[in-house]
Amino acid sequence: MDKIIVEGGKRLSGSIPISGAKNAALTLIPCALLTEEPVTLRNLPRLADIDGFQHLMNQFGVTTVIQGNRPEDFGRVMSLEATRITGTTAPYDLVRKMRASILVLGPMLARMGEATVSLPGGCAIGNRPIDLHLRALEALGATIELAQGYVRAHAPDGGLPGGEYDFPVVSVGATENALMAAALASGTSRLLNAAREPEIVDLCNLLVAMGAEIEGIGTSDLTVHGARRLHGATYCVMPDRIEAGSYACAAAITGGEVLLEGAKAEDMSATIHALRNIGVRVDAEKGGVRVAADGKLRAVTLSTAPYPGLATDMQAQLMALLTVAEGASVLHETIFENRYMHVPELARMGANIETSGRTAVVHGVAKLHGAEVMATDLRASMSLVIAGLAAEGQTEVRRLYHLDRGYERLEEKLALVGAQVERVGDE
């Protein structure tokens, strides 16, 4: 199994191209199930999760063609054509590896009138039930049954009629599933307290490009007027705001200056606000977002929250940055109850962190030191790389399959800005 070796103490300087957003791409791909015509997605990142979702789509009889497989290509182009869907079951063997697989449920149900999807897997970062997905689809007219580890959904004869659902708590995935299902419902649907993340906006924009009629895009009150049919479209995936924020933390912890090429400041305002409070200079430029730090980092209090609040997917990376900030920082994780599994690994590198429930207190230390560490989930793996960039000596990060699910060719991108990072096979 591969591992990444990070030689700490190198100041990062230069430019890093930001890839298409993983979380957006995994929502846009299943939109191809809503039409018989081709859907072409540009700027797809080269990630294990994208490959996994492609295989899942192939399971349904969707043909996929990928351009941009050359080693020098960062973004890829995928054309998907679901002219004839040959199966409506997403099996456990494929779904268990990737939680986003549940996003085929809504579009498959809307298009075919039925869908059977295994309960999902993904990172073990706490309890992430799919009850809101199911309740929202029931509100649109579906009948749901849970049996033997699978969700079995059926629409009435004539398809989903549409309906209204008020989410008791904000759920990105449930909003996405409901949006795709509502796009092909026979009537009008209204989603209240819907998620507002930029990835939701990206999904709405693709659905509109396919012929859907959606009101309230970018707000928590979405109205979808169902269409009899949707057509194909060509669409460019938004830049990855979490990847951009991660590399911003990497630049800051080394006292470096990096241009995040293609990043959109408006999509990452909460992260930028947090970085500025920590003492990092962040400026929006025509070509992206520039991040610079002088090594003087300040302690802060941060709390994750649904968009436009601070993304839970940035918590671990910011924690790594704060391990070397002056003073004691306080982090509150409000989204997931078990997302501090990276804390013991950071402690192996000399970090001083106390946790109690969903609160972590990070006492800044003068320096970190390299160590052998193990990734526990996707964002935790990046936090360990970030810490390794500032640590004295070598840091070895193991269990890279987590990292490869969400960061496109990380070691190559870090090498562009002067980091000494190498991927090697584990002996």
131 is in an annotated binding site: yes
DSSP letters along 101-120, please?
GGGGHHHHHHHHSEEEEEPP
End-to-end CA distance of the chain, in Å? 8
Catalytic residue among 31, 123, 204, 249: 123
* 99 annotated as belonging to a binding site for a ligand: yes
129 a known binding residue? yes
Question: CA–CA distance from 81 to each of 156, 202, 261 (Å)?
Answer: 26, 20, 31
Quick one: which H or E segment has residue 216? none
Q: How many CB atoms are closer than 10 A to CB 335?
A: 22
User: Is 130 one of the annotated binding-site residues?
Assistant: yes
Report d(CA 183, CA 226) in Å as an integer: 5
Instruction: Determine the angle formed by the axes of helices 105-112 and 131-139, rounding to 10 degrees.
Output: 30
Tell whether residue 22 is among the known ligand binding residues: yes
132 is an annotated ligand-binding site residue:
yes
Could you tell me where the DSSP H helices lie in 301-409?
315-322, 343-348, 378-390, 401-404
State which H helix or E strand residue 273 sits in.
helix 269-278
51 is known to lie in a ligand binding site: no
The token pair at 119 is 């309960």
R_g (Cα) of the chain, nearest Å: 21
Helix (H) or strand (E) holding 399: none
Whether residue 367 is annotated as binding a ligand: the answer is: no
Partnered with residue 308 across adjacent β-strands are none
Cα Dmax for the chain? 66
Residue linked to tokens 């911003």: 248
Task: For residue 123, indicate whether it is catalytic.
Answer: yes
Residues identified as active-site: 123
Residue list for the binding site for UDP-N-acetyl-alpha-D-glucosamine: 99, 128-132, 313, 335
Residue list for the binding site: 22-23, 99, 128-132, 313, 335
Residue list for the binding site for phosphoenolpyruvate: 22-23
